[in-house]
Amino acid sequence: MMKTIDNLAVADKRVLVRADLNVPLEGGRVTDDGRIQAALPTLNTLLDRGAEVIVCSHLGRPKGAPDPKYSLAPVAGRLGDMLGRRVRLAADTVGPSARAAVSELRPGGVVMLENLRFNAAETSKDDVQRGLFADQLAELADQYVSDGFGAVHRKHASVYDVALRLPHAAGYLVKAEVDALGRLTANIRRPYVVALGGAKVADKFDAFGSLITAADRILVGGAMAFPFLVARGDKVGTSLLEASQVAAAADLLERAAPGQIELPSDVVVAAEPGGSGTVVPANAIPSDQMALDIGPQTAMRFAAALFPAQTVFWNGPMGMFEREPYAGGTLAVAQALLDGEAFTVVGGGDTGAAIRALGFAEDAFGYVSTGGGASLEFIQGKTLPGLAALEE
């Protein structure tokens, strides 16, 4: 059984909250604050109940040492604006600055530790090294709250080991994620349609085999489609492609039921992303051009497949939605989900960012997950270390 913060007496207690504030930055500015927004219900509740809150998170992939490019300073500033109170950023994770900032905390106050991944032990495969870092984090607090769902599939010090050392509970975000994603693993309402896209292909290949056994139809767009197109004999020009994934795609096409996997029939191509794009058949991509979106014919076909669905899992945009000429496929999928009656889980940070960038309200969808890799592993039935550590 997993406790939530409603089961903790937090007044006058120092509460370490592991959030997932791994947000996109540009020029030292947060460009999409969806993950910060998702952390607010838990943080506001703890603060309103008189807790002394210590927020910790990772940002990007620094190489186990401080790197100004990955500082959480812009995130602390945006979080403070959204909370309506000062968020003091410590200059380190467990060093003198962190200890000093925590010692000065009072009920209703917030301190943010600097990027957890500035310490190599956070992500260490060595249990002892990771445990020593977890000991230092645990010394800062009286209680631990896990609210960074996007990281719960990682056996990291702040995600797994600290929970074993302190009285702990799930935050509202983790609880909501588990409840929503649970609807994709038991008593699924059918037809169940999965839409996969995006540029981060490797994690989705790991999940694809499980999805074949669960989903009625799988719609494949974005860079996810290119290994499948090559596997069936097509050329994809200069499109983003990991050649090592072609064999896996061929195996999945062979394992799937006839028509279960649907690939693009047309795509929008350009020599480089700055162009306006041209629609061509998916099996006729010019050798000097790259596919940057699914084409209008494919978008209509995918929308028609999504409209009658009763359950939908969507992970990954259909193209480079950040540029208007290549946003049409993602826009069509999002609109089809709104027009239909399916319970929809939108999974992954990029997909959530896409619907926000295209002007859709998050609450118009069944659930917008903050965790891409975590959500994929959850619906496969894998044990997620960060959740296992919370179980009583």
Q: What is the full per-residue pLDDT of the chain (392 aa) written as tens digits?
A: 799 999 999 999 999 999 999 999 999 999 999 999 999 999 999 999 999 999 999 999 999 999 999 999 999 999 999 999 999 999 999 999 999 999 999 999 999 999 999 999 999 999 999 999 999 999 999 999 999 999 999 999 999 999 999 999 999 999 999 999 999 988 899 999 999 998 888 878 888 988 999 999 999 999 999 999 999 999 999 999 988 999 999 999 999 999 999 999 999 999 998 878 999 999 999 999 999 999 999 999 999 999 999 999 999 999 999 999 999 999 999 999 999 999 999 987 789 889 999 999 988 999 999 888 898 899 888 999 999 999 96
- DSSP state, residue 2: B
Nearest-angstrom CA–CA distance, 181 and 117? 28
Nearest-angstrom CA–CA distance, 312 and 184? 8
- For residue 345, the cross-strand partners are 313, 367
| Coarse DSSP helix, strand, coil percentages of the chain, rounded to the nearest 5 percent | 45, 15, 40
Nearest-angstrom CA–CA distance, 217 and 182? 19
| Domain 183-379 coded CATH 3.30.300.30 | no
Cite the residue boundaries of each domain of the chain with CATH code 3.40.50.1260. 5-175, 183-379
The whole-model pTM stands at 0.89
- In three-state secondary structure terms, 17 is strand
User: Structure tokens of 360?
Assistant: 């859709």
- Name the residues annotated as catalytic: 35, 200, 349, 373
Q: What is the 3-state secondary structure (H, E, C) of 302-330?
A: HHHHHCCCCEEEEECCCCCCCCHHHCHHH
Look up tokens 């930055």; give the residue.
Answer: 25
User: Structure tokens of 315?
Assistant: 């992970």
DSSP track, 42-95: HHHHHHHTT-EEEEE---S---SS--GGG-SHHHHHHHHHHHTS-EEEPSSSSS
Nearest-angstrom CA–CA distance, 236 and 282? 8
Peptide bond into 227 cis (omega under 30): no
CATH class, domain 5-175, is: alpha beta
* CA geometry: angle 262, 263, 265, nearest 5 deg: 120
